[in-house]
Amino acid sequence: MTTFPNFLDTFATTLLGSKPWEENPRHRDILNAFTEVQALEQRLLTAMTAPPQPGTGAVEQLEACTDLLIERLAAGRELSLLLSTPCLSAAEVAAADDVWATFGTETDEQCCQEPAEPTAGLLDACIKIFAELGHPHAVASADLVDALRHLPGIAGNRWRYSDLTQARLAELLAPHGMRTRDITLPDGRRRKSYSREALLTAMGVCSSC
């Protein structure tokens, strides 16, 4: 995937003898969001048109396509918000975006209350995984899902933990204001991740309390 600026852009700047312009972080956020939308559409097209893999039935293929579609819709919504809100950064948009919050918004009085079951059990499971990993500031969505899949029982009365995907986890956590963001992890990887701060807030642990 082409990155900007790349060596050609650097060459053009050098050739013209001009000084490189400082990058606008918001423009980078829009570019990254647009690139993600394109990548998800390509993955969805491939999943919908590829012949079934050996040992994979129509139900599994449909579930995979559904998960990708949910991810594509979420990415498209984020891009729309970035394009329509000129003064907000990606982090501010992520905090304000209630695209999946179809169950109403929280008030100041509710911010310190524990979330209602059954999702509270999922939040507890997530914070335990953060603790097992040494309380990092963020955990990649893929890594969190991999860890949760080893747990017994049902996540949020929707799916078994063993059947969780990144899209399903996002759907369960979104009503609590949690969503993934591009975060550089302690190991240097930049991945779609959940922050520990957002998880603690969702559990009712407020910094102002």
What band does 83 get if pLDDT is binned at 50, 70 and 90?
Answer: confident
- 202 and 139 co-located in one domain: yes
- 120 and 85 co-located in one domain: no
3-class DSSP string for the chain: CCCCCCHHHHHHHHHHCCCCCCCCHHHHHHHHHHHHHHHHHHHHHHHHHCCCCCCCCHHHHHHHHHHHHHHHHHHHHHHHHHHHCCCCCHHHHHHHCCCCCCCCCCCHHHCCCCCCCCHHHHHHHHHHHHHHCCCCCEEEHHHHHHHHCCCCCEECCCEEHHHCCHHHHHHHHHHHCCCCEEEECCCCCEEEEEEHHHHHHHCCCCCCC
- 113 and 194 co-located in one domain: yes
Query: For 164-208, how does the pLDDT look when each residue is reduced to its tens digit (9 = 90+)?
Result: 888 888 888 888 888 888 888 877 788 889 988 888 888 887 544
Give me the domain span that covers residue 131.
108-209
Domain count within the chain: 2
24 found inside a domain: yes
- 81 and 114 co-located in one domain: no
- 86 and 119 co-located in one domain: no
143 found inside a domain: yes
pLDDT for position 104: 38
152 found inside a domain: yes
- 18 and 60 co-located in one domain: yes
- 71 and 116 co-located in one domain: no
Domain end position, chosen among 78, 99, 120 = 99
- 128 and 165 co-located in one domain: yes
- 95 and 116 co-located in one domain: no
Query: For 50-69, how does the pLDDT look when each residue is reduced to its tens digit (9 = 90+)?
Result: 887 777 677 777 888 888 88
Query: For 141-155, how does the pLDDT look when each residue is reduced to its tens digit (9 = 90+)?
Result: 989 999 999 998 888
- 92 and 112 co-located in one domain: no
2 found inside a domain: no
1 found inside a domain: no
